[in-house]
Amino acid sequence: MEVRLAECAGFCFGVRRAVETVYEQVQTGKTIYTYGPIVHNEEVVRDLEEKGVRVIEGREELLRLAEEAAGRGEETPTVIIRAHGVPKDIYDILDKNNLEYVDATCPFVKKIHRIVERESEKGRHVVIAGDPTHPEVEGIRGWCSGPVSIVETPAEAENLVFSPGETVCVVSQTTFNYNKFQDMVEIFQKKGYNDGVVNTICNATEERQRSAKAIAAEADVMIVIGGRHSSNSRKLYDICSRECANTYFIQTLDDLRLELPKAVRLVGITAGASTPNKLIEEVQNYVRINF
Ligand code: SF4
């Protein structure tokens, strides 16, 4: 039986950079906070928690932290901004309260912030193709100073009404589905908005999805490793299940309860952007040794 790992699996560039930033900051001995969990992976977050890293859950908590830090005087904590990025007003809170921070926003997300900020200032209506509840989308929205709409489906794009004479700037969440984005772009073009579309889908997502699909198409059993709250991992699961009926979604090695029939020739493994290499290796070795 062969065990094959997808070519692009696990941490993407932006997430790796953010997680490494936190581990580096831990070495400074300062009190470290991350604005939101650094990665959608409970194992990593737990490991960091054991090293004293705390998670700020939102604006209110950040304001409370700023107040406490001001009251204490000398010792100011360091806040790390994760790869998803944050709205502009979070930087304002950090700056106004003299809180130290390290910005680990992925450069690809930062680029979207700069685009929407600039186009908003020019008066364009910003349209974000993405999940309105996702922190990355909330962050992008927070850099717009004018009208902004978030559309998740082509039907929503169809129903979007612009004011007469309005110009439009369309961007996408970095993990958005490419085909869905293309469908939406066509809808905007039919409405007469031919320019102002910037495809900001990240290659890392597409490559990971493509290599997962290729293995799943050949595999008898497919294992997708990812965090419960990781949307890109769930997307990988959907893609693989369409290709391979025996697709399993696991968070940790403990979730893996495989009873493989003798006829299995190929077990494929892939992992979401928030899955550390160590875990991928553990799963790979487990399957190799036990079956
Ligand atoms: Fe950056 Fe792409 Fe990873 Fe998102 S998926 S964090 S944009 S490298």
Q: Is residue 34 within a helix (H) or strand (E), and if so which, with residue range?
A: strand 32-35
Question: Ligand 1: does its nearest atom lie under 6 Å from the Cβ of 108?
Answer: yes
27/42 Cα distance (integer angstroms): 21
Average pLDDT over all residues of the chain = 92
Which of 11-15, 42-46, 105-109, 163-167 has the least mean pLDDT? 42-46
Supply the pLDDT for residue 241: 97
Positions annotated as catalytic residues are 136
81/240 Cα distance (integer angstroms): 32
- pTM, rounded to two decimals: 0.85
Write the DSSP string, 12-30. Answer: -HHHHHHHHHHHHHHTTTS
Supply the pLDDT for residue 259: 74
Question: Ligand 1: does its nearest atom lie under 6 Å from the Cβ of 106?
Answer: yes
Mutate to test the pocket of ligand 1, among 111, 174, 178, 201 (most ligand atoms within 8 A of CB): 174
The size of the chain, in residues, is: 291
What sign does the CA torsion over 133, 115, 169, 163 have?
Answer: positive
Question: Ligand 1: does its nearest atom lie under 6 Å from the Cβ of 181?
Answer: no
- pLDDT grade for 195, boundaries at 50, 70 and 90: confident
- Report whether pLDDT(273) > 90: no
221/234 Cα distance (integer angstroms): 17
Beta-bridge mates of residue 267: 3, 221
41/256 Cα distance (integer angstroms): 16
At 83, which amino acid appears? Answer: A
Supply the pLDDT for residue 290: 81
Supply the pLDDT for residue 74: 62
- Report whether pLDDT(200) > 80: yes
- Report whether pLDDT(41) > 90: no
Encode pLDDT of 207-242 as tens digits: 999 999 999 999 999 999 998 888 889 999 999 999
Question: Ligand 1: does its nearest atom lie under 6 Å from the Cβ of 81?
Answer: no
Report the nearest-CA residue for atom 2 of ligand 1.
202
Question: Ligand 1: does its nearest atom lie under 6 Å from the Cβ of 140?
Answer: no
Q: Where are the domains of the chain?
A: 2-10+209-290, 14-106, 108-190
From ligand 1's centre to the CA of 109, what distance in Å?
A: 7
Domain 14-106 grouped into CATH 3.40.50.11270: yes
For the chain, give the percent of residues with pLDDT over 70: 99
Question: Ligand 1: does its nearest atom lie under 6 Å from the Cβ of 174?
Answer: yes
Q: Which DSSP state fits 7?
A: S
Say which CATH topology domain 108-190 has: Cobalt-precorrin-4 Transmethylase; domain 1 (3.40.1010)
Q: Which CATH class is domain 2-10+209-290?
A: alpha beta
Region 103-123: mean pLDDT is 97
Mutate to test the pocket of ligand 1, among 8, 137, 175, 230 (most ligand atoms within 8 A of CB): 175
Query: 123: phi > 0 → left, psi -120 to 50 → alpha, else beta; which?
Result: left
Measured distance between the N- and C-terminal CA atoms of the chain, rounded to whole angstroms:
8
At 162, which amino acid appears? Answer: F
291/17 Cα distance (integer angstroms): 35
Ligand 1 atom nearest residue 136's Cα:
4
Question: Ligand 1: does its nearest atom lie under 6 Å from the Cβ of 104?
Answer: no
Q: How many CB atoms lie within 10 A of CB 112?
A: 25
- pLDDT grade for 121, boundaries at 50, 70 and 90: very high
**Chain-centre distance for alpha carbon 254:** 24
Ligand 1 atom nearest residue 203's Cα:
2
Ligand 1 atom nearest residue 108's Cα:
7
Q: Which DSSP state fits 74?
A: S
Asked if 14-106 and 108-190 have one fold, the answer is no
